[in-house]
Amino acid sequence: MSTIDFEKFSKYSKPGPRYTSYPTALEFNENFTYDQYIHYLENAKEKLSLYVHLPFCRSACYFCGCNVVFTSKEKKLSTYIEYLKKEVDLLAQHIDTSREVIQFHFGGGTPTYYKAFELDEIVTYIKSKFPNWSQEAEISCEIDPRFFNEDQMKVFQKHGFNRISFGVQDLDEKVQKEIHRIQPLELTQKAVELARKYGIKSINTDFIYGLPYQTLETFKKTLELSTQLNPDRVAVFNYAHVPWLMKTQRKFDETTLPTPDVKLQIFQYTIDFFESNGYKMVGMDHFAKPEDELFGAIEKGELHRNFQGYTTKGGANLVGIGLTSIGEGERYYAQNTKDMKVYEAALDAGKLPFERGVKLSDDDYLRKAVIMELMANFSIDMKRVENEHHIDFKTYFADALEALQEFVEADLVTITEDKITVSTTGTLLIRNIAMPFDAYMKKYAQSKKSFSKTV
C-alpha cells in the first residue's frame, strides 16, 4: 500500500462533517418547535431505540469532544437520576409505550461513574415505563475501564446487556500523559475479561488517531498491543480537533499533533493491520470480525449510520433521553438542551427538555439517504435512489457529480451508468466525497470554525 502519495492527499485536509446525521447538528435550530416534536413522538409507529446520556466524568481527557459534565459530587449524580425519571415519565405520556424496544444504549460521559445500584435503578425505571423489550434487543453501554467493577457488570448482566464498548484511545505512555488519561493495558485487559466472564459476546474498543505525539511507529505499537484484548469490534476515530468548541483541547500544543500526511499513513496502516489480522473494515472508522453482525450487515446492505456511529438496526425511531441527547425519526432530529439548569427547569415545569431540532424537507430526506448510503456502503446505487425518490439522479445531482470529477480523475471514485463506487483508497476521504451532496456545505465554506478536519 506504499503507492499512495500521502503528501498529495494532504490537500484534502479541510473542515467537514462526520455525517452521523444529515442535516448536521449545526443545522439544528429553534424553528423546529416543541409542539412539532410532540406531534412526531405521538404519531411515530417504528420500533424504539432508546439512548440515555449519563454525562458525568471524574476528570477530563483533553481530547474529548463529547458532551461531558466534570464533577466529584455524588449529589449531582443522584439528582440527575431523579430528573431522568421525570423525563422518562413525560416521554411515556407522549409515546405509545407498547412499541417494541429494539435498542438501548447508555452513552456518556462515563455511565459507570454511577454505582451499580444507581445503574440498576435507572434501567429498572425505564423498563417499568417502556416494558416491551425485544428478545433480540441490542443493549449496550460505553465503559471507561478505569471506572468499572464487578457489581456494575452484575447489573448489566441482570438487564440483558449484550454489548460493551471500552474507551482505550492510545496505549503509548507519552501520548497517554499528554491526553491526561493514564490507562495501562493491564487495566483494560481486566475490564475486558470481566465483561467476557459475564457473557458479553460483543466487545468493542475505541482508539483515536491524530492525538499529540502520535507517530506511525507509536501507533503501530498501540495496534499490536490492542490484539491482546481480542476485541470483536474496533473503532479507530479520526481525532476531531475543535478547540473553539472544546476548552480542554486548548491544552494541546498544536505543533505536537501529527500532520495530515502522517495521519493518512497511520490510518492506511490501521486498515492493512486489521485486514491482515482477521477483521474487515466497516464504514469509515470501524473494524469487525467476519462473524460479527456488523460485517454481515454490509453484505446484506443493512448497515446504517446514526449518532452512535454504525448500526444494524436501521429504521428505528431513536429517542434521546438526558442532557444534550439527540433523537431521530424518519423526518426529524430533536436535541435536548445542553444546560443542566435549563434541563432541570424544563422538567420541573412538566415539560420535556427539548431545545432544538430540524424537520427534514424532501430535499434533506433525499440527500440524507444518499450521504448515509455513501458513509455506510462506500457506494450509491443511483437507480435505486431514482426509484425511491422519483428523481433523475444525474440531473438532480449535476453539481455534485461535477464536483466528484476531481476524485474520479484521482482514481478514488468510479461513476458508471447506475452506480457511484468509492475505491479502497477513496474510503480514506469518504467525508470529502460525501460533501458535494451536502446542500449546506456552501454556507460553511468560508468558516474555519465549524467542523473538524477530514484528514
Ligand X SMILES: C[C@H]1O[C@@H](n2cnc3c(N)ncnc32)[C@H](O)[C@@H]1O
Chain Cα centroid distance, residue 304: 11
Q: Does 110 bind ligand MET (CB under 6 A)?
A: yes
**Residues β-bridged to residue 333:** 328, 358
Strand 133-143 relative to strand 101-108: parallel, antiparallel, unpaired? parallel
Among 19, 22, 51, 63, binds ligand X (CB under 6 A): 63
- Dihedral of CA atoms 186, 187, 193, 198 in degrees, nearest 10, equals 170
Q: Does 148 bind ligand X (CB under 6 A)?
A: no
Residue with Cβ nearer ligand X (205 or 377): 205
Nearest CA-CA partner of 335 in 90, 65, 26? 26
Residue with Cβ nearer ligand LM7OVKF4 (105 or 313): 105
**Footprint of ligand SF4 on this chain (CB under 6 A)?**
57, 60-61, 64, 66, 68, 108-110, 144, 167
Task: Round to the nearest angstrom and report the end-to-end CA distance of the chain.
Answer: 18
Q: Rounded to an integer, what distance in angstroms lies between the CA atom of residue 372 and that of residue 22?
A: 8
Which one-letter DSSP state was computed for residue 29? B
Q: Does 285 bind ligand MET (CB under 6 A)?
A: no
Residue with Cβ nearer ligand LM7OVKF4 (69 or 391): 69
Preceding peptide of 65 cis, ω within 30°: no
Do 70 and 396 touch, CB atoms closer than 8 A? no
Among 216, 240, 257, 340, binds ligand X (CB under 6 A): 240
Interface mask toward ligand LM7OVKF4 for 164-193; x: CB under 6 A: ------------------------------
Work out what residue 60 binds among ligand LM7OVKF4, ligand SF4, ligand MET, none; the CB cut-off runs from 5 to 8 Å by kind: ligand SF4
- Minimum CB–partner distance for residue 167 and ligand MET (Å): 2
Among 23, 55, 109, 167, binds ligand X (CB under 6 A): 167
Burial class (CB within 10 angstroms; exposed 0-12, middle 13-18, buried 19+) of 365: middle
**Rg over CA atoms, the chain:** 22
Q: Rounded to an integer, what distance in angstroms lies between the CA atom of residue 408 and that of residue 411?
A: 5
Q: Specify the stretch interacting with ligand LM7OVKF4 by CB under 6 A; choose among 173-181, 234-242, 291-299, 344-352.
A: 234-242
Q: Which residue is nearest to ligand X (CB)?
A: 65
Q: Specify the stretch interacting with ligand LM7OVKF4 by CB under 6 A; choose among 59-67, 153-161, 167-175, 272-280.
A: 59-67
Nearest CA-CA partner of 53 in 118, 107, 124? 107
Residue 61, number of CB atoms within 10 A of its CB? 20
Question: Which residues contribute to the site for ligand MET (CB under 6 A)?
Answer: 66, 108-110, 142, 144, 167
Question: Which residues contribute to the site for ligand LM7OVKF4 (CB under 6 A)?
Answer: 17-18, 20, 25, 53, 65-67, 107, 237, 240, 242, 307, 324, 326, 451-452
Question: Which residues contribute to the site for ligand X (CB under 6 A)?
Answer: 63-66, 142, 167, 169, 206, 208, 237, 239-240
